[in-house]
Amino acid sequence: MSEKTIAFIGGGNMARSLIGGLVADGHPPAALRAAEPDAERREALISDYGIQGFEDNATAVRGADAVILAVKPGELAGVARQLGGQIRDQQSLVISIAAGVRSPNIAEWLGGDVPVVRAMPNTPALIQTGATALFANPSVGPEQRDLAETTLRAAGMVVWLPDETQMDAVTALSGSGPAYFFLTMEAMQAAAERLGLDSDTARLLTLETALGAARMALEASEEPALLRRRVTSPGGTTAAALAELEGGDLAGLYERALRAAAGRAHELGDELGAQ
Ligand SMILES: NC(=O)C1=CN([C@@H]2O[C@H](COP(=O)(O)OP(=O)(O)OC[C@H]3O[C@@H](n4cnc5c(N)ncnc54)[C@H](OP(=O)(O)O)[C@@H]3O)[C@@H](O)[C@H]2O)C=CC1
Ligand SMILES: O=C(O)[C@@H]1CCC=N1
């Protein structure tokens, strides 16, 4: 693992997940910094992971090899404008994880020709099972590309996108995706409880089934559709359940959900890019 200094601006949910992944992967905590205005959240990062915490963004960024902008999308322009001069002088790589906000806008707020990587991680980064897509603007050189990849790979798998416009679809799929699976788990557990299982049993069976299915789909050479058919005995219980899910247009529902998320990411890019 590299010992490059990485400064997070914003120490909320996603920064915490990435910091947790980096520390678990062996990144020296002393080379990780977080600037976070909320004292309780900042202190928790310091005590839980042994990283350096700062109230002030400029101090956190001083001398950092990479600066990860982990604030809400609406805060990004202000933060980038505040730190742009410093980042340009010390030639740090900037990695933005904000949904929707496009790299040309980020570079402009930073003051011009700045290496910017857009990343879309997800919260399972906390336990190193994240999935991240990356896009580099033309100012990012090979070493900085490696730095971005190594940093995000500490939290799970990484793919590079050839085209930034794909980032909205990625945001809809894997950025927001953990929430869809959590909602499905909530719904399955609640339904099982209504069928008479106690909540501990319903929860455990739901979660182990989700884990087993995900691992099988990842590790098997067959497609999920084939794995599904193997569970589905003709005239059996699974067929009865799947008929209900298909009757409720599950595939259409997912398409509408992902289109709504991608559309919202695009809207954020338009709205915030005009600042
Ligand atoms: N959560 C997720 O699953 C994912 C989130 N993202 C992206 O990550 C980014 C962060 O999201 P998330 O972690 O969920 O949000 P959070 O609100 O949990 O974290 C943002 C943090 O930044 C702090 N902050 C606000 N203003 C500043 C500032 N000027 N300087 C420094 N810190 C500041 C906030 O403090 P305070 O609350 O006090 O304002 C907060 O602690 C977003 O842009 C989001 O689009 C990307 C992928 C997945
Ligand atoms: O909900 C959001 O906007 C962020 C981006 C992806 C996941 N969470």
Q: Which domain-ending residue is among 162, 187, 211?
A: 162
Is the domain of 30 the same as that of 146?
Answer: yes
Query: Does any ligand 2 atom lie closer than 6 A to the CB of residue 99?
Result: yes
Burial of 187 (0-12, 13-18, 19+ CB in 10 A): exposed
Read off the CATH number of the domain in which 105 is found: 3.40.50.720
CA of 38 to the centre of ligand 1 (A): 11
pLDDT of residue 274: 87
Is there a contact between 72 and 99 (Cβ–Cβ < 8 Å)?
no
Locate the DSSP E strands across the chain.
6-9, 32-35, 52-54, 66-69, 93-96, 116-120, 130-136, 156-160
pLDDT of residue 68: 98
Q: Which atom in ligand 2 lies closest to the alpha carbon of residue 99?
A: 5
> Count of domains in the chain?
2
- Whether 201 is covered by a domain: the verdict is yes
For the chain, the first-to-last Cα distance in angstroms comes to 38
Domain span at 113: 6-162
- Whether 103 is covered by a domain: the verdict is yes
C-alpha distances out from residue 252 to 32, 245, 246, 256, Å = 43, 11, 9, 6
138 phi, psi to nearest 5 deg: -65, -15
pLDDT of residue 1: 52
pLDDT of residue 2: 62
User: What is the DSSP-derived secondary structure letter of residue 172?
Assistant: I
Is the domain of 62 the same as that of 198?
Answer: no
Of 72, 109, 168, 180, the one to substitute when testing ligand 1's pocket (max ligand atoms within 8 A of C-beta) is 72
Is the domain of 123 the same as that of 17?
Answer: yes
Is the domain of 206 the same as that of 240?
Answer: yes
- Whether 106 is covered by a domain: the verdict is yes
- Whether 55 is covered by a domain: the verdict is yes
Could you tell me which residues come within 8 angstroms of residue 172 by beta carbon, excluding any fewer than 6 positions away? 257, 258, 259, 260, 261, 262, 265
CA of 69 to the centre of ligand 1 (A): 9
Q: Which domain-ending residue is among 138, 162, 186?
A: 162
- Whether 275 is covered by a domain: the verdict is no
- Whether 67 is covered by a domain: the verdict is yes
> Which ligand sits nearest to residue 12's alpha carbon?
1
- Whether 168 is covered by a domain: the verdict is no
Q: DSSP 3-state assignment of 91?
A: coil
Is the domain of 189 the same as that of 144?
Answer: no
Closest C-alpha among 167, 161, 160 to residue 146: 160
Is the domain of 14 the same as that of 122?
Answer: yes
Is the domain of 181 the same as that of 125?
Answer: no
Query: Does any ligand 2 atom lie closer than 6 A to the CB of residue 176?
Result: yes
Angstrom distance (rounded) from CA 45 to CA 51: 7
Q: Which domain-ending residue is among 162, 190, 224?
A: 162
> Which ligand sits nearest to residue 98's alpha carbon?
1
CA of 262 to the centre of ligand 2 (A): 10
Q: Which atom in ligand 2 lies closest to the alpha carbon of residue 123?
A: 7
Burial 150-182 (b: 16+ CB within 10 A, else e): bbbbbbbebeebeeeeebbbbbbbbbbbbeeee
Per-residue pLDDT of the chain (275 residues; tens, 9 = 90+): 568 999 999 999 999 999 999 999 999 999 999 999 999 999 999 999 999 999 999 999 999 999 999 999 999 999 999 999 999 999 999 999 999 999 999 999 999 889 999 999 999 998 999 999 999 999 999 999 999 999 999 999 999 999 999 999 999 999 999 999 999 999 999 999 999 999 999 999 999 999 999 999 999 999 999 999 999 999 999 999 999 999 999 999 999 999 999 999 999 999 999 88
Read off the CATH number of the domain in which 188 is found: 1.10.3730.10
Is the domain of 30 the same as that of 97?
Answer: yes
CA of 72 to the centre of ligand 1 (A): 4
- Whether 167 is covered by a domain: the verdict is no
Query: Does any ligand 2 atom lie closer than 6 A to the CB of residue 130?
Result: no
Is the domain of 157 the same as that of 209?
Answer: no
Is the domain of 150 the same as that of 187?
Answer: no
Is the domain of 118 the same as that of 144?
Answer: yes
Is the domain of 140 the same as that of 183?
Answer: no
